[in-house]
Structure formats: structure tokens, C-alpha cells
């Protein structure tokens, strides 16, 4: 199915359900990724305002946003994508590689349990939707910096879906969701383009680049410049793509494909190494 000019595929917005956490305690007091510089001051009030703009943009476009309470002393809880991975009402908890974030594990699993999800305690080290992305019926799984390869086997066992392993090689893109955007979260109705992605080729090793090229021949290849401003740490409902305003080339590519870029500035939260997708955990299934 195409638009009237018969060149750009029709895009359909699909209502999503997200978990977010207000950055009331946001600061950068330690360094666990190349973006974090504790010597640079952070503005918590600004971080909250920017986060609120993202929250409000989701709600304005019809998406359901639920909140987990922030915990003092856990400034990175705002990056809820790292809190778990949820498909069909089943929530796989996380085991963070870094000690600084281990305190987040239980609050997220407790929230999932309290909201009707079947919680699976993880065995292997992995960081949730930061490294696991659902594309249609397939789970793309990252490794190289945070999540270990054995977590991909565990992921397949828990969800009974195909898991495709991808290796990240650039420390700036330490989670998969910093190097791939899932543009079409689920398969569309008949005639609508199948699930597709955008990605930064240089973030992956050669073998992973070959896998991505074979599986997603129509994917958008994003420039290094747009990747470097966390342009790929974006969220999409199948029509609207919530994206960094600094990723201008990516925004133009999206428009050419029939998507509507929704620029959201999270520059303050980028000081902690997170962007739009990092602040957004998708809740699939479970009680509402």
C-alpha cells in the first residue's frame, strides 16, 4: 500500500505502551560509558524539563505512558530501557554489568510483578532493551560491551523467538539501541512494508554488518555524524519517529521514507550516555 504519489510507503502509527522514570535524581557522579564526565556540571531541573517534553509528546500522539518511581542514589533509573525486556506479558529482568546500576534491578522487577507481568529472574549479564530489540517476530541482540553472548541463548529460551546476535565494536555505542532504531515496531497489515530498521554500519563488526544487510536490505543507513549525536537512540510508532533534533540527516532520510520526525532535545540526559530510546521501555502485553 502506498501514498498517492505511489512512491512512498504508507506508514501507520500504532499505539504503544511505555514505561518511563522522571529524572528527579539525575546527575553524573561516576563514569561507566564514554559520554559521562563527572567533572562537567549537570542541571537536574533541565533534565526533568526535557524528559517531560518527551513524555508529553508520547501522550499527545496517543501513547500510554506509565511511570516507575525514581529511587534516590540511582540516577540512571531514568534510562528505563535498561530495566528489562518485555514481550507478550513476560518480563525478563536484568543483571547489570556495572556495579553502579545493580541497585536498579530489583525496583524494576518489583514494578513488573506489581503490574501484572510474569517476571523471569535473569541468570546471565544483560541490560534489557538497551541491547535487545524486537523487530517483527525476531529479537536483535547486542553484545560486545555490556550484555554477554550467553544472555542471547537465555533470551531465546525465555521468549521462544529467533534471536540474532550482533557485535558492537565502537565504545561510544555500547548498547544496541544507540546504533539501531526499530522503525516499524510490528508487522503492519497486508500491503504495508514489513518491519524495518535504521542503523549505523560502523558501530558493528563486519560479520554483523553482513547479517544486517542481508536481513534488512531496505534499512536506512545513518551517517557517522548523526550516530555521534545519538540520532539512532530514537523511538518509533511506525509513523512518528521521536529523534534528536541534531540528527538532521537522519530526519531527512526518515521524511523521504514517509515517516514523520518528532524532534525531542534530551541534551542534558545525553551527559549520562542516554537519549530518547534509553528513556523508553516498551511494555508489551500484561495487565493494563
Q: Looking at the annotation, which residues are catalytic?
A: 175, 278
Alpha helices in the chain (DSSP H): 44-60, 105-114, 150-159, 206-215, 224-228, 248-256, 267-270
DSSP 193: P
Question: 241 and 181 in contact (C-beta within 8 Å)?
Answer: yes
Which of 190, 178, 189, 196 lies closest to 257 in space, CA to CA?
196
Q: Helix (H, G, I), strand (E, B), or coil: what is residue 246?
A: coil
Can you tell me the distance from the alpha carbon of 198 to that of 238, in angstroms, rounded to the nearest whole number?
Answer: 12
Can you tell me the distance from the alpha carbon of 33 to that of 218, in angstroms, rounded to the nearest whole number?
Answer: 31
Amino acid at each position: 500500500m502506498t501514498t498517492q504519489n505511489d512512491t512512498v510507503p504508507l506508514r501507520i502509527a500504532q499505539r504503544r505502551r511505555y514505561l518511563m522514570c522522571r529524572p528527579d535524581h539525575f546527575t553524573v557522579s561516576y563514569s561507566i560509558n564514554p559520554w559521562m564526565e563527572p567533572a562537567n556540571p549537570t542541571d537536574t531541573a533541565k533534565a526533568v524539563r526535557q524528559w517531560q517534553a518527551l513524555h508529553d509528546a508520547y501522550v499527545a500522539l496517543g501513547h500510554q505512558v506509565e511511570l516507575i518511581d525514581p529511587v534516590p542514589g540511582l540516577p540512571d533509573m531514568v534510562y528505563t530501557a535498561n530495566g528489562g525486556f518485555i514481550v507478550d506479558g513476560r518480563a525478563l529482568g536484568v543483571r547489570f554489568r556495572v556495579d553502579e546500576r545493580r541497585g536498579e534491578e530489583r525496583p524494576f522487577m518489583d514494578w513488573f510483578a506489581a503490574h501484572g507481568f510474569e517476571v523471569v529472574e535473569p541468570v546471565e549479564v544483560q541490560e534489557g532493551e538497551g541491547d535487545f530489540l524486537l523487530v517483527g517476530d525476531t529479537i536483535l541482540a547486542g553484545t560486545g560491551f555490556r550484555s554477554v553472548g550467553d544472555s542471547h541463548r537465555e533470551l531465546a529460551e525465555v521468549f521462544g523467538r529467533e534471536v540474532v546476535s550482533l557485535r558492537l565494536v565502537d565504545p561510544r555505542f555500547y548498547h544496541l539501541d544507540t546504533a539501531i532504531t526499530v522503525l516499524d515496531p510490528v508487522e503492519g497489515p497486508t500491503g504495508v512494508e514489513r518491519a524495518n530498521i535504521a542503523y549505523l554500519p560502523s558501530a558493528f563488526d563486519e560479520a554483523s554488518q553482513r547479517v544486517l544487510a542481508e536481513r534488512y536490505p531496505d534499512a536506512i543507513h545513518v551517517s557517522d555524524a548523526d550516530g555521534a549525536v545519538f540520532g539512532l537512540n530514537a523511538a518509533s510508532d511506525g509513523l512518528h519517529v521521536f529523534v534528536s533534533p541534531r540528527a538532521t540527516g537522519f530526519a531527512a532520510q526518515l521524511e523521504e521514507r514517509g515517516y514523520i520526525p518528532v524532534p525531542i532535545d534530551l541534551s542534558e540526559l545525553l551527559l549520562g550516555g542516554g537519549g530518547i530510546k534509553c528513556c523508553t521501555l516498551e511494555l508489551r502485553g500484561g495487565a493494563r
